[in-house]
Structure 1
Amino acid sequence: MTTEHELLSVLLVEDNPANVFLQKRIITKLGCAGEITVATTGLEAFEMVKDWRDAPDRLPDLIFLDINLPAMNGWEFMDHYNDLEIPAELRPVVLILTYSEYSKDRKRAKKTPGVMGFYNKPLTVPLLESILQRYFPELAAGS
């Protein structure tokens, strides 16, 4: 996890290039991330996190996870992610970021271990500011 005035490491799990572009732009605009990594499938994201767990300094602080992904959807990613042995203090903040308006998805997110929040796309500056304030208040206060 970050300490005061450190920048975040963010993993975007998103298969739509336009959404990746927008999310990177918003994150960069706020200057809150020292590193932004992109995985275009749930499987790719899982393999990254699995590799990074052996080098905890590589684990992202924040994961924005889409639900509808090729190769492994967001729910499947979470099932596998939750099986990884990552100490609680090193676990990234995982937030669902989706266009889904289905209440069943919002309810499922609340019941899924490891998912800390559910947000609707698009990512905007005010939304990211509110996420920073909620999950990384020490960073939000420093900006």
Structure 2
Amino acid sequence: MTSERKLLSVLLVEDNPANVFLQKRIISKLGCAEEITVARTGLEAYELVKEWKDEPERLPDLIFLDINLPAMNGWEFMDRYNALDIPEEQRPVVLILTYSEYNKDRKRANRMPGVKGFYNKPLTVPLLESMLGEYFPDRFS
């Protein structure tokens, strides 16, 4: 995969240390992001995005969001995230990345404003390459 331009940042919303390690490793292996930030709860992620929204250059390009999180789950995060006043062209691409095999979760993600895709863990190099090509075609070919 050749990249015309890296993503400035990726926000991993993930509470499992092993998943954080794997996701950071895959992203780093592809060299597709300048910065990786980790939020271990939905509430922590929401507070970060709320803080960054007034400085759009700090918003991540991509958010990988787990559903089952402490303090605020992924659905609650999305409800609050969608209420933030962030112009559409500045909104990060939000992708659900979960172990959930429940069809109801996939359907809910498809109906949830702001969620661009629903994927099952683990993140792999081919899966990330596919995501980058689909959601950032101007930067990755």
Q: Normalising by structure 2, what TM-score?
A: 0.96
CA change 1:19–1:122 in 2 (3 A) is same
Q: Distance in 2 between matches of 1:51 and 1:133?
A: 29
3-state SS in 2 of match to 1:25: helix
Query: Which amino acid counterpart does residue 113 of structure 1 have in structure 2?
Result: P
Instruction: Find the counterpart in structure 2 of residue 37 from structure 1.
Output: 37
Instruction: Find the counterpart in structure 1 of residue 125 from structure 2.
Output: 125
User: What do the CA deviations read for 1:93-138 (whole angstroms, capped 9, x no partner)?
Assistant: 0000000000000000000000000000000000000000100112
Q: Distance in 2 between matches of 1:131 and 1:99?
A: 17
Give ranges in structure 1 of 5+ residues lacking alignment.
none
Percent of matched pairs sharing the same residue:
80
Instruction: Find the counterpart in structure 1 of residue 97 from structure 2.
Output: 97
User: What do the CA deviations read for 1:26-50 (whole angstroms, capped 9, x no partner)?
Assistant: 0000000000000000000000000
RMSD: 1.2
Q: Distance in 1 between matches of 2:109 and 2:39?
A: 20
Instruction: Find the counterpart in structure 2 of residue 51 from structure 1.
Output: 51
1:67 aligns with 2:67: yes
Q: Distance in 2 between matches of 1:63 and 1:6?
A: 15
Cα drift, residue 7 of structure 1: 3.0
Give ranges in structure 2 of 5+ residues lacking alignment.
none
1:138 aligns with 2:125: no
Contact 2:82 2:113 in 1 (8 A): yes
User: What do the CA deviations read for 1:49-106 (whole angstroms, capped 9, x no partner)?
Assistant: 0000011100000000000000000000000000000000000000000000000000
Give the number of aligned pairs.
139
Q: Distance in 2 between matches of 1:80 and 1:132?
A: 25
Contact 1:12 1:63 in 2 (8 A): yes
Query: Which amino acid counterpart does residue 81 of structure 1 have in structure 2?
Result: Y
Query: Which amino acid counterpart does residue 128 of structure 2 have in structure 1?
Result: L
Contact 1:8 1:62 in 2 (8 A): no
